[in-house]
Chain A
Amino acid sequence: MTEPTGKPSRTLKPVGDATREPPDLAALLGRVARGDQDAFGQVYELMSRPVYGLALRVVRDPAQAEEIAQDVLVEVWRKASHYRPERGSATSWVLTVAHRRAVDRVRSTQADRDREERTAAPSPDYDEVAEEVGTRLEHQQVRRCMRGLTQTQRESITLAYYGGYTYREVSELLGVGLAAVKTRMRDGLIRLRDCLGAQP
Chain B
Amino acid sequence: MTHDPHDLAGPYVLDALGDTERRRFEHHLPRCAACADETAGLRETTTWLALAVAHRPPDRLRARVMTEIARTRQSPPPLGRRLPSPRTGGLSRLAAAACLVLALIGGGTTWHFHRSAEHAQALNRRVTAVMTAPDAHTSTARAQTATITVVSSRSLGEAVVTTARLQRLPPAKTYQMWWLGPTPPRSAGTLNPPGRPRPLVTTGLGNAQRFGVTIEPAGGSQQPTSAPILTVALG
Determine whether A193 belongs to the interface, using a CB cutoff of 8 Å to chain B.
Answer: yes
Residue among A44, A99, A196 making CB contact with B48, cutoff 8 Å: A196
Check B57–A52 contact: CB distance below 8 A.
yes
Residues of A within 8 Å of B, CB-based: how many?
Answer: 75
B13 to chain A, nearest CB (A): 7
Check B10–A189 contact: CB distance below 8 A.
yes
Check B10–A48 contact: CB distance below 8 A.
no
Determine whether A166 belongs to the interface, using a CB cutoff of 8 Å to chain B.
Answer: yes
Residue among A40, A139, A170 making CB contact with B51, cutoff 8 Å: A139
Check B15–A186 contact: CB distance below 8 A.
no
> In the complex, A98→B170 CA distance in Å?
48
Check A37–B17 contact: CB distance below 8 A.
no
User: How does the 8 Å CB contact mask read for A161-195 relative to B, with 1 for contact and 0 for none?
Assistant: 11011111010000000110111111111101100
Residue among B45, B70, B72 making CB contact with A15, cutoff 8 Å: B45
User: How does the 8 Å CB contact mask read for A55-95 relative to B, with 1 for contact and 0 for none?
Assistant: 01100001001100110011001111110000111011001
Determine whether B54 belongs to the interface, using a CB cutoff of 8 Å to chain A.
Answer: yes
Residue among B1, B8, B47, B76 making CB contact with A19, cutoff 8 Å: B47
Which residues on the B side are within 8 Å of A27 (C-beta)?
none
Q: Which of B53, B69, B73, B75 neighbours the largest number of chain A CB atoms within 10 Å of its CB?
A: B53
Which residues on the A side are within 8 Å of B56 (C-beta)?
48-49, 52-53
Check B69–A89 contact: CB distance below 8 A.
no
Determine whether B156 belongs to the interface, using a CB cutoff of 8 Å to chain A.
Answer: no
By beta carbon, the residue of chain B nearest A187 is B10
Given contacts A48-B57, A166-B17, A182-B7, is CB(A96)–CB(B43) below 8 Å? Answer: yes
Which residues on the B side are within 8 Å of A53 (C-beta)?
50, 53-56
Determine whether B66 belongs to the interface, using a CB cutoff of 8 Å to chain A.
Answer: yes
Check B44–A167 contact: CB distance below 8 A.
no
Given contacts A91-B47, A186-B42, is CB(A52)–CB(B75) below 8 Å? Answer: no
Residue among B42, B53, B62, B78 making CB contact with A82, cutoff 8 Å: B78
Which residues on the A side are within 8 Å of B57 (C-beta)?
48-49, 52, 65-66, 69
Check A92–B77 contact: CB distance below 8 A.
no
Check A160–B78 contact: CB distance below 8 A.
no
> In the complex, A160→B198 CA distance in Å?
39
Check A88–B40 contact: CB distance below 8 A.
yes
Query: Can you list 16 contacts pairing A with B, beta carbon distance less than 8 Å?
Result: A33-B74, A50-B53, A78-B74, A79-B75, A89-B47, A91-B47, A143-B52, A157-B14, A167-B14, A181-B11, A186-B42, A188-B10, A189-B13, A189-B42, A189-B45, A190-B42
A interface vs B, CB < 8 Å?
Answer: 15-16, 18-20, 33, 35, 37, 40-41, 44, 48-50, 52-54, 56-57, 62, 65-66, 69-70, 73-74, 77-82, 87-89, 91-92, 95-96, 98-100, 103, 136-139, 141-143, 157, 160-162, 164-168, 170, 178-179, 181-190, 192-193, 196
A-B pairs, 7 with minimum CB distance: A186-B10, A53-B55, A185-B10, A139-B52, A52-B57, A81-B77, A160-B16
Known: A49-B55, A190-B45. 7 other contacts (CB 8 A): A40-B69, A48-B61, A49-B57, A69-B61, A81-B74, A161-B14, A189-B14
